[in-house]
């Protein structure tokens, strides 16, 4: 590990806006078994009281990278609390440092695997979720996509009724997959577009005015950006799209640029 990362990890410990729980705080063993189970972290249900000191709405950005989008949204809406979630401590260092330097009281960052997200938020605690340029998991498990039925079920456990999920991506594959999930579960679509800077669909201003580092690069290359916003409300288990999504077709349409757009350096 380089000295730069070690310095960032050490400085991360000083940021009041950055929560970095260790595995023992969210995992324990099933009684009489070696299997691990998720357990509630003490902050669950208490972000407003313990972290922000208010009862303003809470919005998450999952897979926030360096926190560009989280920070920009927080600057625009000081009456809303924003939490960026990522597993990479070196990336979160940048967001936490900027929030600290700017004195942004409505910003926090959480270092954890998104699979553990249910351990940190209580029922009705979150109003909105942003998925900005998430890994589309082109060749990975469908369950690893952050808009899969498995993840939607996790989100429903802590989102308010009528809560909104925003998906903004350069991946047409992920857009169409999510669209198929939404259709299979009869979720209410609030806004949708496959080339938002060309078509200018009805959407919140920040959809167009807030951009990540990579998004700016995609636009300079002439690549279209897609957007889909939908309500999480659904009764009963979420179902997978099955034949409603032609993965091979959209994988072919995706092209070779994925290796660039999700380079390990972050957003």
pLDDT at 48 exceeding the cut of 50: yes
Is the CATH number 3.50.50.60 carried by domain 3-261? no
Percent above pLDDT 70 for the chain: 94
DSSP E strand boundaries for 88-125: 107-111
Q: Is 25 helix (H, G, I), strand (E, B) or coil?
A: helix
CA gap 182, 176 in Å, rounded = 10
Looking at residue 34, its pLDDT comes to: 75
**What backbone torsions phi and psi does residue 237 show, to the nearest 5 degrees?**
-70, 145
Domain boundaries, the chain: 3-261
Instruction: Give me the mean pLDDT over the 209-238 stretch.
Output: 91
Structure tokens, 215: 């998004």
pLDDT digits (tens, 9 = 90+) for 62-80: 999 999 999 999 999 999 9
Q: Tell me the per-residue pLDDT of 100-140, one tens digit each, with 9 for 90 and over.
A: 999 999 999 999 999 999 999 999 999 999 999 999 999 98
Question: Rounded distance, CA 1 to CA 135, Å?
Answer: 24
pLDDT at 4 over 60: yes
Indicate the average pLDDT of the chain. 92
Grade residue 206 by pLDDT with cuts at 50, 70 and 90. Answer: very high
Catalytic, out of 22, 40, 79, 135: 135
CA distance linking residue 9 with residue 176, whole number of Å: 37
**Tell me, what's the pLDDT at 23?**
87
CA angle, 46 then 49 then 52, to 5°: 105
- Band the pLDDT of 257: cuts 50, 70, 90: low
Q: Angle at CA 76, nearest 5°, toward 74 and 81?
A: 30
pLDDT for 266 beyond 50: no
Note if 135 is an active site residue.
Answer: yes
CA 244 to chain centre: 24
Q: Lowest mean pLDDT of 31-40, 130-139, 150-159, 196-205, name the range.
A: 31-40
Beta strands in 11-157 (DSSP E): 18-19, 27-29, 36-38, 58-62, 81-86, 107-111, 126-132
Q: Report the alpha-carbon distance of residue 120 to residue 39 in Å, rounded.
A: 9
């Amino acid at each position: 590990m380089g000295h730069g990362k070690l310095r960032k990890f050490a400085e991360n410990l000083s940021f009041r806006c950055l929560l970095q729980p260790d595995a023992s705080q969210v995992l324990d063993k099933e009684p009489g078994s070696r299997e691990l189970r998720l357990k509630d972290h003490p902050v669950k249900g208490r972000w407003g009281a313990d972290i922000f000191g208010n009862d303003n709405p809470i919005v998450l950005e999952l897979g926030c990278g360096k926190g560009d989008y989280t920070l920009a949204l927080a600057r625009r809406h000081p009456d809303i609390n924003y939490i960026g979630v990522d597993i990479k401590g070196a990336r979160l260092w940048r967001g936490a440092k900027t929030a600290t330097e700017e004195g942004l009281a409505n910003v926090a960052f959480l270092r954890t695997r998104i699979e553990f997200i249910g351990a940190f938020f209580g029922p009705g605690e979150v109003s909105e979720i942003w998925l900005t340029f998430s890994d589309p998991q082109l060749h990975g498990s469908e369950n690893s996509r952050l808009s899969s039925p498995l993840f939607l079920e996790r989100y429903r456990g802590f989102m308010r009724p009528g809560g909104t999920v925003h998906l903004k991506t350069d991946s047409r594959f992920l857009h169409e997959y999510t669209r198929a999930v939404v259709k299979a579960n009869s979720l209410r679509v609030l806004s949708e577009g496959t080339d938002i800077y060309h078509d200018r669909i009805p959407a919140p201003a920040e959809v167009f005015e807030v951009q990540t580092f990579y998004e700016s690069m995609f636009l300079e290359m002439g690549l279209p950006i897609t957007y889909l916003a939908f309500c999480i409300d659904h009764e009963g288990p979420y179902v997978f799209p099955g034949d409603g999504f032609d993965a091979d077709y959209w994988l072919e349409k995706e092209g070779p640029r994925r290796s660039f757009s999700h380079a390990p350096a972050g957003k």
